[in-house]
């Protein structure tokens, strides 16, 4: 509201401009900010009815910890049916592969040899029938039957020697490809349902503290909707604003001391991980040339080994008077 604008500007100015706290008399730049942490919205890709709730609001959890579980019976039934269809498809693939292998191998050696023997026997019978027919012992019909048998057994032997026809091989390969495509589709359906089954268990994606969580057994959960808010307490940072004249005193990777009122006399190790490449102004709309001194750059300082700190705490970042190391450049 307009009546609060002067107070907001004064407060922000006090937060970003150099300040001297008790004990600071060495020309160090002290910047004020507040601790922040990443918040993750946790939910499920599928909906369902809540079967079990494993944590309460405010609980500390590790990555992978179970938060809640949805009733899986409907997905389990679909999954059982899909697995059965997949098993049948795999059996058909195995049968089609065996038929193709048989076609590629062609007739067995014993079958070819048997066809050759039948042909040799038919040729012997034909020669005998031809001689007897010439002597008038057998009639023409008997001679013709011997002639036909010799031609038939010869054709059977030649087919066995040549092996499987190209058309039969192509048909066997096509049949195998069709069965494999069906098998792959069933496998994909099983994988999809197994992934849905995993979504029945809502777990923490990272270590942190449950900030908002209001589920009870029997509640209905919509798909793709967050059911809990997780604060990643392991990744804390403070964002401060460095005046333009002091920008040369900071650099990405530089280590700084961070203090909080809750732990007086103790400094926490901070490291600059980001320096905005574009300046901001205090106030936002510059009206005069004198206000150019209010130009500032946002700096993000990450904290390590600060398990006792909490987001929202007021924090102070101390920048030493010495300039940044040679070669260190702000992020661009």
Same-domain status, 190 and 80? yes
* pLDDT number for residue 330: 43
Say how far apart CA 221 and CA 213 lie, in whole Å.
12
Same-domain status, 162 and 122? yes
Q: Is residue 327 part of a domain?
A: no
Q: Is residue 81 part of a domain?
A: yes
pTM (whole model) above 0.85 = no
Give DSSP secondary structure letters for 83-131: HHHHHHHHHHHHHHHHHHHHHHH-S-HHHHHHHHHHHHHHHHHHHHHHH
Same-domain status, 193 and 254? no
Say how far apart CA 93 and CA 89 lie, in whole Å.
6
Of the residues 198, 231, 248, which one is the last residue of a structural domain? Answer: 198
Name which of 80, 66, 64, 45 is nearest 199 in CA terms. 45
Same-domain status, 315 and 234? yes
Kindly give the confidence (pLDDT) of every residue in the chain, 332 residues in length, as a single tens digit, with 9 standing for 90 and above: 333 333 333 333 434 444 434 334 456 889 999 998 888 999 999 999 999 999 998 888 999 999 999 999 999 999 999 999 999 999 999 999 999 988 877 767 777 778 778 878 888 877 887 787 787 777 888 878 888 888 888 877 777 766 667 888 889 999 999 999 999 999 999 999 999 999 999 999 988 889 888 889 999 999 999 999 998 877 889 999 988 888 888 999 999 999 999 898 889 999 999 998 888 876 454 444 454 557 889 999 998 767 788 888 899 999 876 554 545 454 43
Q: Is residue 239 part of a domain?
A: yes
Same-domain status, 54 and 93? no
Say how far apart CA 82 and CA 277 lie, in whole Å.
54
Helix (H) or strand (E) holding 34: strand 29-44
Of the residues 163, 198, 233, which one is the last residue of a structural domain? Answer: 198
Same-domain status, 309 and 264? yes
- Give the domain range for residue 278: 2-68+212-319
Same-domain status, 85 and 194? yes
Q: Is residue 118 part of a domain?
A: yes
Of the residues 141, 163, 198, which one is the last residue of a structural domain? Answer: 198
**Cβ atoms of 215 and 48 closer than 8 Å:** no
Same-domain status, 182 and 217? no
* pLDDT number for residue 234: 73
Length of the chain: 332
Say how far apart CA 33 and CA 39 lie, in whole Å.
18
Domain count, the chain: 2
SS3 content of the chain, % helix, strand, coil (to 5): 45, 25, 30
* pLDDT number for residue 93: 96
Identify the CATH number of the domain in which residue 224 sits: 2.40.30.170
């Amino acid at each position: 509201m307009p009546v609060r604008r002067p107070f907001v500007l004064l407060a922000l100015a006090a937060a970003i401009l150099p300040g001297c706290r008790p004990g600071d008399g060495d020309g160090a730049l002290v910047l004020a900010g507040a601790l922040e942490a990443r918040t993750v919205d946790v939910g499920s890709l599928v909906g369902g009815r809540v079967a079990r709730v494993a944590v309460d609001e405010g609980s500390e959890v590790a990555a992978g910890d179970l938060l809640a579980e949805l009733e899986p019976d409907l997905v389990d039934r679909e999954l059982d049916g899909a697995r059965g269809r997949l098993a049948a498809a795999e059996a058909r693939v195995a049968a089609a592969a065996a038929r193709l292998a048989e076609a590629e191998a062609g007739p067995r050696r014993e079958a070819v040899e048997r066809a050759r023997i039948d042909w040799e026997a038919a040729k012997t019978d034909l020669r005998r029938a031809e001689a007897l027919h010439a002597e008038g012992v057998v009639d023409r019909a008997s001679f013709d039957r011997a002639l036909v048998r010799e031609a038939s057994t010869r054709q059977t032997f030649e087919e066995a020697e040549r092996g499987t026809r190209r058309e039969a091989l192509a048909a066997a390969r096509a049949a195998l490809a069709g069965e494999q495509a069906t098998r792959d589709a069933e496998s994909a359906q099983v994988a999809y349902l197994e992934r849905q089954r995993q979504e029945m268990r809502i777990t923490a994606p990272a270590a942190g503290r449950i900030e908002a969580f209001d589920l009870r057994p029997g509640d209905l959960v919509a798909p793709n909707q967050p059911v809990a808010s997780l604060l990643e307490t392991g990744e804390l940072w403070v964002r401060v604003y460095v005046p333009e004249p002091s920008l040369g005193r900071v650099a990405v990777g530089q280590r700084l001391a961070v203090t909080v009122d809750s732990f007086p006399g103790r400094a926490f190790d901070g490291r600059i991980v980001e320096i905005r490449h574009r300046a901001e102004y205090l106030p936002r709309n510059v009206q005069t040339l004198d206000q150019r001194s209010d130009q500032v750059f946002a700096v993000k300082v990450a904290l390590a080994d600060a398990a006792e700190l909490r987001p929202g705490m007021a924090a102070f970042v101390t920048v030493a008077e010495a300039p940044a190391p040679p070669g260190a450049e702000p992020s661009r």
